[in-house]
Copies of this chain bind each other. A is one copy, B any other.
């Protein structure tokens, strides 16, 4: 395809028009249900006739169902409509450091089944992970009593960069993965539609759809664990960049020539605010896992023990600087602090973090941003991953159960 100077455009037909209008209606109903045809008309701008036509088709397909009625003031009662949560199912997979989690949700995002497979943190071979995912998919389908053909798709959150080209390649440095064709490997054991994305991005999606990011068009979801990353949302969409590696906030430099980072560079934000780095600074009891150790550090600071308070003060400073960089560069309306360490640190240090961010941001940019804690825990990676097929479905991609059943037939 010939290069484009500005946003890529493609010609449309009346079929596209219908698909897009139906999509407008579905998104509206999905996030605001139940509601009436008249409410849908107001919310979408479509005429009552169009709403009636589109809703009839959706009811015929089983995507939407009537859900009771509201009495009118002497006139015909209004019928309430809702998504049919049993129309189809989605699966979210979280490939974490210590376990692979697989969750099956219905269309209302109600969890129907969950399976966790523990992982040896020293053993992240591709073959192992692929097996665990396959096992998990089979297990949740069985547990939920759901046929594979009823699954709209599987979203998978993985560590590292997910390059979406002719073939999906995963570059997971912390796992030692280099250009792993994960989708192809997974397809060897399942026919379910697969959608693979970076775990920080799927966490970001979860906060945007169901958590602290709801309603924001421009946001950054910052995740702090052992490592540090971010999901950048612009115009309601995840910004991925040209090869889907955007969001490596943890490897932006805050002190040129500063502390060594595990990525091989120096002065990275992660070397100052990543949980592993903070604990290295403070020292920790041998054999203690990071989460316990960080909680202990926070307790020690609360009791005024040793250097704990000073270490946390420094951490809040660097974290604030990192957030200020995002504020100056992106101008988000909201910054959401998440990740297991981000939530722990944030609960205690949010005022200090905000102060540091204010000091390092331009006045005007800072004044139009809020800094908040995420509402969803680290286990929302799978939930966020499950939104990947939901989005395609709501956009009218050829993804309906009927379509998949026809394809299989």
A5-B215, A8-B217 given as contacts; is B331 within 8 A of A243 (CB)? yes
A312 within 8 A of B: no
**Assembly CA distance A12 to B20 (angstroms):** 8
A215 to chain B, nearest CB (A): 3
B5 lies within 8 A of A391 (CB):
no
Question: In the complex, what distance in Å separates the CA atom of A50 from the CA atom of B11?
Answer: 11
Which are the 4 A-B pairs with shortest beta-carbon distances? A241-B331, A3-B215, A242-B333, A248-B328
A217-B246 CB under 8 A given contacts A45-B10, A251-B328: no
Q: Is the CB of B11 within 8 A of A46?
A: yes
Q: Check A23 for interface membership: any CB of B closer than 8 A.
A: yes
Q: What is the bound-complex CA distance between A332 and B14, given in angstroms?
A: 35
Given contacts A237-B6, A242-B218, contact A329 B256 (CB under 8 A): no
Further 4 A-B residue pairs, CB within 8 A, beyond A9-B24, A248-B331 = A234-B234, A239-B330, A245-B365, A253-B321
In contact, A246 and B11 (Cβ under 8 angstroms): no
**Which residue of B20, B255, B256, B331 is within 8 Å of A240 (Cβ)?**
B331
Residues of B within 8 A of A76 (CB): none
Minimum Cβ distance to chain B for residue A389 (Å): 14
**With A12-B17, A171-B364, A234-B234 known to touch, is A5 a contact of B245 (CB < 8 Å)?**
no
CB-defined contacts of A218 to chain B, threshold 8 Å: 241-242
A interface vs B, CB < 8 Å?
2-14, 16-17, 20-21, 23-24, 27, 31-32, 43-46, 50, 161, 171, 173, 208-209, 214-215, 217-218, 230, 232, 234-237, 239-249, 251-256, 263, 265, 267, 317-318, 321, 324-325, 328-333, 359-362, 364-365, 368-369, 391
Across-interface contacts of A253 in B (CB, < 8 A): 254, 321, 324-325, 360
Determine whether the beta carbon of B328 is less than 8 Å from that of A252: yes
Are A7 and B265 also in contact (CB < 8 A) when A246-B331, A331-B243, A360-B253 are?
no
Give Cα A4–Cα B317 distance, bound, in whole angstroms.
33
Query: Separation in Å of the A53 CB from the closest CB of chain B?
Result: 13
Q: How far is the CA of A218 from the CA of B242 in the complex (A)?
A: 6
Please name the residue on chain B nearest to A25 by beta carbon: B11
The answer on a CB contact under 8 Å between A24 and B7 is no
Identity of the chain B residue whose Cβ is nearest the Cβ of A265 in the assembled complex:
B360
B329:A5 contact, CB within 8 angstroms: no
Query: How long is the Cα–Cα vector from A246 to B217 in the complex, in angstroms?
Result: 14
Q: Which residue of B lies closest to A214 (CB)?
A: B5
| Nearest B-chain residue to A237, judged by Cβ | B7
| A364: B residues at CB distance < 8 A | 161, 171, 243, 245
Query: Whole-angstrom distance between the alpha carbons of A3 and B43 in the complex?
Result: 11
Task: Determine if B245 and A362 form an interchain contact, defined as CB atoms under 8 angstroms apart.
Answer: yes
13 cross-chain CB contacts under 8 A:
A5-B215, A12-B20, A161-B364, A161-B365, A171-B364, A234-B239, A239-B239, A241-B330, A242-B368, A245-B368, A247-B331, A252-B329, A253-B324
Look across to chain B and name the residue whose beta carbon is closest to the beta carbon of A13.
B17
Distance, CA A360 to CA B214, complexed state (A): 34
**Closest-CB distance, A7 to chain B (whole angstroms):** 4
| Complex interface: chain B residues within 8 A of A16 (CB) | 17
Nearest-neighbour CB distance to chain B for A257, whole angstroms, equals: 9
A227 nearest CB across to chain B (Å): 12
Contacts of A321 in B (CB 8 A): 253, 256, 267
